[in-house]
């Protein structure tokens, strides 16, 4: 007699096991949870831009702290839920753990221990937010959350500008700053939005029209800012997006190699006949990059006084608690210099050579892993890593933002570092149905 064939049994094993009630919660509850997660991601990214706070009179530090504390709490609860209820391991990349640990530990040698402790804890919280988003959202979803956040900031800035309010204009240059502190800040944020819109258009065909609309609005706002840094960053973003798109194509590697050869040949042909003044004039800057080279020279002298571990995380440029070296720089230059205008230099001032090496290793590892992802067919993940690495490097050449607490740049960088390949995402393991030979013998 032939034995009845049993249907395949679905089993769940190991740390990838779903909670017993996960299946019952699918459908409406899962959809609501996904909507809340995406809303959280958009709100965190808006918060990370620093938008709207310049419009509020008075000191907003307490409000900013309270809002970020809520963001930290959501991330911590979500990660604990992954670990203890869903039994998924939380593997924090070594470079992120080192950077967060070093920032907190720098309280031991900081020139402003209380300030460093608060800011170090803030950096750890920002890292946890980025890790949480990386675990819950795919690369296309991360880019779409970034696109939506920047689009909202851009639309609010344009509406303020259209209203004729003086608040919409940069106090120094008179161009669009919108709901952000300066025109350059808005320009850099809009460039991030252009990156996100480009990535969404490439990765998700369903959202292509929305991404195109977002990109047009952002480019219009970028033109109104007249921000050289923002325009250069946007051009770099589009170049990176095009290169990644070509590299992901079966014949794209040859095209990327050919394009790189042409660019290199052009540089070899034209650079010997140009000087620094001609190069900087081409992007609308003077030879000192509006005073940045002077800041770098003085900052390097200050770095040489405490090269190994620096002055403590977040302490050097503080107006009240910073070291005498920072006050001397402001005195020499006759203006309130807020930062070193170079991300790696500011990391070195805060955490010394040790911190700078960790930051360089993190960025180098991100580039290598992104190339490996593209080569292995994980195009979306490779695009996330390479584009975020490229934007981080370019944006930190003449501005600061590398591993700063509570910024959209750090959230994106951490998410790109912590993102996992699809095959490492917990999945159900199904038993194979009986083979035909076994069925026949039964």
- N- to C-terminal Cα separation, the chain: 8
Cα(218)–Cα(193) distance, integer angstroms: 7
Considering only CA atoms, which of 347, 300, 355 is closest in space to residue 325?
A: 300
Whole-number pLDDT of residue 420: 87
CA 250 to chain centre: 28
- In the prediction, which pLDDT does 83 show? 84
Q: 408-418 and 379-398 are packed helices; what angle lies between their axes, rounded to 10 degrees?
A: 140
Q: Which of 358, 346, 351, 353 is nearest to 109 (CA)?
A: 351
Residue 93 has what pLDDT?
94
Please check whether residue 435 lies inside any domain of the structure: no
Domain range enclosing 139: 30-427
Q: Does residue 5 belong to any structural domain of this protein?
A: no
What is the SS3 assignment for the chain? CCCCCCCCCEECCHHHCCCCCHHHHCCHHHHHHHHHHHHHHHHHHHHHHCCCHHHCCCCCHHHHHHHHHHHHHHHHHHHHHHHHHCCCCCCCCHHHHHHHHHHHHHHHCCCCHHHHHHHHHHHHHHHHHHHHHHHHCCHHHHHHHHHHHHHHHHHHHHHHHHCCCHHHECCCCCCECCCCCCHHHHHHHHHHHHHHHHHHHHHCHHHHHHHHHHHHHHHHHHHHHCCHHHHHHHHHHHHHHHHHHHHHCCCHHHHHHHHHHHHHHHHHHHHHHCCHHHHHHHCCCCCCCCCHHHHHHHHHHHHHHCCCCCCCCCCCCCCCCCCHHHHHHHHHHCCCCCCCCCHHHHHHHHHHHHHHHHHHHHHHHHHHHHHHHHHCCCHHHHHHHHHHHHHHHHHHHHCCCCCCCCCHHHHHHHHHHHCCCHHHCCCCEECCCCCHHHHHHC
**CA atoms of 347 and 354, how far apart (whole Å):** 9
pLDDT of the residue at 110: 97
Q: Which among 253, 218, 252 has a CA at the least distance from the CA of 237?
A: 218
At residue 23, the pLDDT reads 41
- What the block records as the tokens of 410 is 């750090």
| pLDDT the model gives residue 253 | 54
Residue 41 inside a domain? The answer is yes
User: Could you give the CA distance from residue 228 to residue 247 in angstroms, rounded to a whole number?
Assistant: 28
Residue 25, domain member (yes or no): no
- Using a cut of 0.95, tell me whether the model's pTM lies above it: no
For residue 253 the two structure tokens come to 């590697």
Domain assignment present for 19: no
- Residue 252 · residue 208 · CB < 8 Å: no
Residue at 8 is within a domain: no
Could you tell me how many residues make up the chain?
442
pLDDT tens across the length of the chain (442 residues): 445 444 444 433 333 333 333 443 344 556 677 899 999 999 999 999 999 999 898 889 899 999 999 999 999 999 999 888 877 888 889 999 999 999 999 999 999 999 999 999 999 999 999 999 999 999 999 999 999 999 999 999 999 999 999 999 988 889 999 999 999 999 999 999 999 998 998 888 899 999 999 999 999 999 999 988 888 888 887 877 777 766 665 555 554 455 455 445 554 555 455 545 444 444 445 545 667 889 999 999 999 999 999 999 999 999 999 999 999 999 999 889 999 999 999 999 999 999 999 999 999 999 999 999 988 889 899 999 999 999 999 899 988 999 999 999 999 999 999 998 875 544 433 344 454 444 444 4
| 433 lies in some domain | no
**Residue 423 neighbours by CB under 8 Å, 6+ apart:** none
Number of domains in the chain: 1
374 within domain boundaries: yes
């Amino acid at each position: 007699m032939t034995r009845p064939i049993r249907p395949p049994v679905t089993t769940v094993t190991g740390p990838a096991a779903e909670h017993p009630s996960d299946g019952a919660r699918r459908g409406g509850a899962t959809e609501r949870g996904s909507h809340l997660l995406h809303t959280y991601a958009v709100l965190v990214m808006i918060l990370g831009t620093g938008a709207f706070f310049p419009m509020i009179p008075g000191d907003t530090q307490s409000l900013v702290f309270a809002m970020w504390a809520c963001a930290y709490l959501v991330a911590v609860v979500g990660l604990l839920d992954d670990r203890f209820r869903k039994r998924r391991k939380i593997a924090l990349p070594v470079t992120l753990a080192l950077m967060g640990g070093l920032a907190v530990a720098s309280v031991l040698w900081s020139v402003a221990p209380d300030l460093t402790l608060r800011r170090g804890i803030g950096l750890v919280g920002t890292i946890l937010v980025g890790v949480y988003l990386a675990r819950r959202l795919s690369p296309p979803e991360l880019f779409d959350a970034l696109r939506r956040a920047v689009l909202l900031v851009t639309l609010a800035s344009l509406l303020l500008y259209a209203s004729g309010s003086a608040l919409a204009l940069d106090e120094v240059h008179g161009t669009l700053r919108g709901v952000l502190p300066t025109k350059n800040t808005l320009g850099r944020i809009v460039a991030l939005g252009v990156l996100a819109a480009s990535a969404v258009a490439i990765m998700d065909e369903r959202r292509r029209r929305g991404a195109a609309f977002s990109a047009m609005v952002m480019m219009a706002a970028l033109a109104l800012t007249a921000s050289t840094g923002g325009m250069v960053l946007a051009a770099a973003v589009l170049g990176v997006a095009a290169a990644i798109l070509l590299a992901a194509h079966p014949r794209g590697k040859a095209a990327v190699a050919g394009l790189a050869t042409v660019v290199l040949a052009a540089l070899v042909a034209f650079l010997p006949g140009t000087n620094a003044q001609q190069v900087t004039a081409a992007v609308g800057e003077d030879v000192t990059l509006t005073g940045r080279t002077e800041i770098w020279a003085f900052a390097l002298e200050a770095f040489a006084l405490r090269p190994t571990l620096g002055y403590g995380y977040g302490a050097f440029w503080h107006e009240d608690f910073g070291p005498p070296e920072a006050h001397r720089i402001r005195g020499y230059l006759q203006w309130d210099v807020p930062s070193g205008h170079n991300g790696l230099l500011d990391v070195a001032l805060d955490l010394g050579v040790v911190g700078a090496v960790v930051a360089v290793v993190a960025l180098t590892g991100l580039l290598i892993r992104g190339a490996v992802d593209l080569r292995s067919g994980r195009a979306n993940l490779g695009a996330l890593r390479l584009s975020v690495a490229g934007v981080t490097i370019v944006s930190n050449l003449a501005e600061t933002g590398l591993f700063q607490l509570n910024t959209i740049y750090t959230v994106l960088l951490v998410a790109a570092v912590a993102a996992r390949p699809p095959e490492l995402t917990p999945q159900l393991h199904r038993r194979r149905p009986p083979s035909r030979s076994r069925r026949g013998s039964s």
